[in-house]
Amino acid sequence: MDATDQQLLALLRENARAPTAELARRLGLSRTTVQSRIERLERGGVILGYSVRTGAAHDAAQVRALVMIAAAPRLSPSIESALRRLPQVRTLHSVNGVHDFIAGVEAAGVAELDRLVDRIGALDGVERTSTAILMTTRIDR
């Protein structure tokens, strides 16, 4: 990957649905060159897919939190599998230290968040959870 690929990725992170012609204009390249670069990045596994980012009105109606999870070592795979089935779990990271996982979750309100955290805590192999409600996002790339 060169500097142009890095710039292209940054533009796609801003708006993955930006027309190729607009990306080309912003990069000072031809449309076909940009399309070729995108295809190469996809084939090479740099770009794995595209996602949806929700708007401020939707986000304002949601409660987002990080749930730190301490897990019994041999049950981590089954915990991960169970968390994958919960649509409120938006991200899951394995970490080192006191906790084994950090789950980024989203709920329609505090009561739903409370039920979700209870559900996570009740999973077989979850030893304890700790939750931090997210207040504002200062950087989102």
State both tokens at 55. 């708007």
Look up tokens 């070592």; give the residue.
Answer: 73
Per-residue pLDDT band at 132 (split at 50, 70, 90) = very high
Q: How confident is the model at residue 55 (pLDDT cuts 50, 70, 90)?
A: confident
Percent of the chain, pLDDT > 70? 99
H helices of the chain, in order, are 3-14, 20-27, 31-43, 56-60, 76-84, 110-121
pLDDT tens per residue, range 31-54: 999 999 999 999 999 999 988 877
In 3-state terms, what secondary structure has residue 49? coil
| pLDDT at 52 (0 to 100) | 80
Angle at 63 between CA 58 and CA 64, to 5 degrees: 100
